[in-house]
């Protein structure tokens, strides 16, 4: 078996490795990230081949191009391979590729989950919508700052109809008026894009049976459901709810020595978007009046725990519920007790 490490960049990649049986080395420098260049580069390389490349912006696209040339090919997380703080040797593309090949031959590497093209498109959709929403927040903050700098205030929120009407009546001097006009135009464009993305998300969530089941949970809409669907991908890769919670980074750091155990801050080492939607769900639970197990947990814990700690508890319970419903293919069921009122007697 030929073990090859692939040091990947945006325009090219370097291959370095060896044959574990014969010890023969193979090195290919700067192959363009194009189908024809890849075909020519591997034409003279013996097979079977096992390869590894690091996760990155274009890792999935390059995996699909390179997979036909390998009997085994995996993508790994860089932080699971390198410890740059302790590395004192040279760092070059050739050394990095060889380091990947050596780790692969030793069996020290674990492949990360590779979403298919449909899941990848779904991830792009929900992440794009979140980026647009955050851009709207930045523009609104800039609007408020600009208006306040001239001693003006608006009583309504800028994203409401009353707020936009109030902004339209604001008069600023000179170039400030032009800046205000530009900011309002950006805001209009971003809101149009956000609505279009929300429509696409709603359509995809409505067509997916898993999203439909998750949307039966109170306070879960199409964005949260589709985010869970595409970021988790295959629920079978999480053997338990604890594994899913750990993947989201909603677990504390643990420092243990002998019989002493100390729990620190959340690791936040995992899927940030899962952690985000679980946190938003917890915030919505606290803010609404729906009678759910999550709300009841808030009432039980809010007197003895910090509000942020309670949010983390609810977020963990939410992900555990998602894991159970998805695994067992069930919908949300919470039998709310029926309260029978006895009519008062009329005097």
Going from N- to C-terminal start, the domains of the chain cover 2-106, 117-207, 222-328
pLDDT of 85? 64
pLDDT at 157: 85
- 3.30.420.40, 3.40.190.10, 3.40.50.300, 3.40.1410.10: CATH of 2-106: 3.30.420.40
* pLDDT 10s digits, 256-304: 877 788 778 888 888 999 999 999 999 999 999 899 999 999 999 999 9
Return the pLDDT at 345.
45
Buried-state track 325-337, b at ≥16 Cβ within 10 A, e below 16: bbeeeeeeeeeee
- Cα angle 129, 132, 137 (rounded to 5 degrees) comes to 130
Q: Average the pLDDT over each of 39-48, 154-163, 170-179 and give the range with the smallest value.
A: 154-163
Cis? peptide before 117, omega within 30° of 0: no
pLDDT band at 122 (very low <50, low <70, confident <90, very high): very high
pLDDT at 107 over 70: yes
Q: What are phi and psi of 29, to 5 degrees?
A: -100, 130
- The string over 2-15, giving b where at least 16 C-beta atoms fall within 10 Å of a residue's C-beta and e elsewhere, is bbbbbbbeeeebbb
Whole-angstrom CA distances from 272 to 184, 209, 237, 250 are: 31, 24, 18, 10
3-state secondary structure of 332: coil
Long-range pairs, 83-91, Cβ under 8 A, ≥24: none
pLDDT at 135 > cutoff 90 = yes
Q: Is the pLDDT of residue 109 over 70?
A: yes
What angle (nearest 5°) sits at the alpha carbon of residue 181, between those of residues 180 and 187? 90
**For 140-144, what is the mean pLDDT?**
92
Q: Which two tokens stand for residue 214?
A: 């998750």
Which backbone phi and psi does 241 adopt, to 5 degrees?
-65, -35
The tokens describing 166, both together, are: 């109030």
**Reported pTM:** 0.86
Question: What percentage of residues in the chain have a pLDDT greater than 70?
Answer: 95
pLDDT tens digits along 214-233: 999 999 999 999 999 999 99
């Amino acid at each position: 078996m030929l073990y090859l490490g692939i040091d990947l960049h945006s325009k090219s990649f370097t291959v370095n490795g060896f044959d574990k049986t014969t010890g023969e080395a193979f090195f290919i420098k700067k192959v363009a990230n194009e189908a024809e260049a890849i075909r020519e580069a591997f034409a003279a390389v013996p097979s079977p081949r096992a390869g590894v490349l690091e996760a990155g912006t274009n890792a999935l696209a390059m995996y699909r191009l390179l997979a036909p040339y390998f009997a085994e090919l995996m993508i790994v997380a860089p932080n699971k391979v390198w410890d740059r703080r302790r590395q004192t040797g040279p760092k070059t593309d050739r050394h990095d590729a060889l380091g990947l090949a050596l780790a692969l031959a030793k069996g020290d590497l674990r492949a990360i989950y590779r979403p298919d093209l449909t899941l990848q498109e779904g991830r792009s959709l929900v992440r794009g919508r979140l980026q647009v929403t955050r851009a709207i927040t930045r523009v609104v903050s800039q609007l408020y700052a600009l208006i306040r700098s001239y001693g003006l205030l608006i009583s309504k929120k800028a994203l409401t109809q009353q707020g936009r009407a109030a902004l339209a009546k604001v008069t600023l001097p000179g170039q400030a008026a032009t800046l205000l006009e530009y900011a309002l135009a950006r805001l209009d464009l971003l809101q149009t894009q956000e609505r279009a993305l929300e429509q696409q998300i709603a359509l995809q969530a409505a067509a997916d049976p898993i999203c439909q089941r998750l949307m039966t949970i109170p306070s879960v809409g199409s964005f949260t459901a589709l985010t869970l669907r595409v970021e988790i991908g295959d629920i079978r890769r999480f053997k338990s709810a604890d594994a899913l919670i750990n993947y989201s980074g909603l677990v504390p750091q643990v420092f243990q020595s002998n019989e002493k155990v100390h729990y620190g801050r959340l690791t936040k080492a995992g899927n940030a978007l899962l952690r985000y939607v679980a946190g938003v769900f917890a915030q919505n639970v606290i803010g609404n009046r729906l009678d759910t197990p999550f709300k009841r947990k808030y009432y039980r814990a809010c007197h003895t725990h910090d509000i942020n700690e309670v949010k983390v508890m609810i977020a963990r319970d939410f992900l555990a519920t998602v894991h159970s419903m998805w695994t067992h293919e069930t919908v949300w069921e919470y039998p709310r007790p029926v309260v029978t009122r006895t009519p008062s007697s009329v005097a």
